[in-house]
Structure 1
């Protein structure tokens, strides 16, 4: 049985590939652990200068595998431990942050859905390149979540971050590039070629130069309070999942299935699962 992650190396570029296409590469504890190990291994490999995060299938990452996570909350609902919740969610956040804190540059190549927890992951990459068919967004802002890695404001600024987080609206790739959420948008059939070409171009620089330049850029965000923002984001995510509305959402998911609960949540907005067949 193949694992949730596979890796490839060429021309100084380590491709780390999410390999659960039949599940839209949704996030599970197994994927979390495999991704953490793959990033650590690439960062320690002297033959690797750049990491390229990619995904098999029609979607980059449709968020958490909420079939298991809603069930987990439902079974623990009567005795919610906020400290334990924070610790569990931090284990996922710490993995995404490996893309940010890795000494080597990280690029993400995104196609299809990249929503909810998928954005928590991908926005920690140094650069994001997307196909025109990519769609970003944080629909759990409507109920049952907040962005844990809190990268939205740092990438887009206050005004745009509030525009999309306070509605949960989906963001087509072209718009995402225009507002600064991602770096580039390219035709669907050129995504892998373009992203790998960019990674290979970076890999032409000396490794120590790449590491110093990344550290210099990232330190600006650190100085803006990134650590406290993600701490608050991770904590509030747990709170949001246990509000009256959050508990009702979980109850509906257990009763009718998660996809149906999502469609009902998004139906008034006419986007995501309410409009498209997942």
Structure 2
């Protein structure tokens, strides 16, 4: 199918690469972009000539998160049960859809990887990042906990607490040291090192590779990762009933200027992300 928001190529034999292609929006995840990501990954999972996929972002970053300038309740890529917490349940189902694919997926992260962008990276099997990437979940400051509460599973309780209580970002180097990412490289190396790894993975027969991938995921699930992240959607829904979250959300308007002002309101006191003074 023709795509509007992604580019798909095959840079190496048996390697599919998907580039999120909304650079003017910092690859913000609207419903169409998510739909196209899922379609391309599922097509690769069915294609006997593909062994592994890479996800990366065009322009200055991987993804700055969900597109807050659009109404993401409209034209969602798949049905999810309605009621409080619908959005969090919905996106969790999609991210676990990537987790459950037979073939591995690599997230290649540079620049900002924020909020929903971190959830997309979490759903992937291997995460290679640029040393100077900025990886964080700033909505915890004025909106809610994450839709997908991956922090304690990837970085441990103490680091998770630090990140969840501040919304501060990890650098790419820190993300690799703490366990969110697999490895970090200089930005100039990132493309090639990701392709080198994908080539090595593609040497293993697909029918065996899917079992290798599944064995790691099953261990995480036995420890409770899937159940905990799904249960976290109820806590996320509860956050929107708090006075602070309701006050913040009451001033939100779905236009670029308003969204930028709201994000600046959230981050100015912390002096980071787009409000950082160079």
TM-score by length of 2: 0.89
Aligned to 2:37: 35
Aligned to 1:49: 51
Structure-2 separation of matches of 1:23 and 1:98: 25
Establish whether residue 89 from structure 1 lines up as the match of residue 88 from structure 2: yes
Aligned residues: 268
User: Kindly tell me: are residues 151 and 38 of structure 1, through their superposed partners in 2, closer, same or farther at Cα, counting changes over 3 Å?
Assistant: same
Structure-2 separation of matches of 1:44 and 1:97: 17
Aligned to 1:5: 6
Shift of 1:225: 1.3
Aligned to 1:16: 18
Aligned to 1:79: none
Aligned to 1:216: 215
Contact preservation (8 Å) 1:253, 1:260: no
In the TM superposition, what whole-angstrom CA distance separates every residue of 1:230-268 from its partner, at most 9, and x where no partner exists? 222223323323422122112333397111121121122
In the TM superposition, what whole-angstrom CA distance separates every residue of 1:199-236 from its partner, at most 9, and x where no partner exists? 11110111122111111111111001122212222233
Aligned to 1:164: 163
Structure-2 separation of matches of 1:226 and 1:33: 25
CA RMSD of aligned residues (A): 2.2
Query: Which deviates the most, 250-259 or 161-170?
Result: 250-259
User: Kindly tell me: are residues 274 and 241 of structure 1, through their superposed partners in 2, closer, same or farther at Cα, counting changes over 3 Å?
Assistant: farther
Aligned to 2:78: none
Contact preservation (8 Å) 2:3, 2:36: no
Structure 2: any 5+ residue segments left out of the alignment?
75-80
Aligned to 1:264: 265
Local SS of the residue matching 1:136: strand
In the TM superposition, what whole-angstrom CA distance separates every residue of 1:72-116 from its partner, at most 9, and x where no partner exists? 79xxxxxxxx94343343332222222211111111000100011
Establish whether residue 241 from structure 1 lines up as the match of residue 246 from structure 2: no
Aligned to 1:144: 143
TM-score by length of 1: 0.89
Shift of 1:276: 5.7
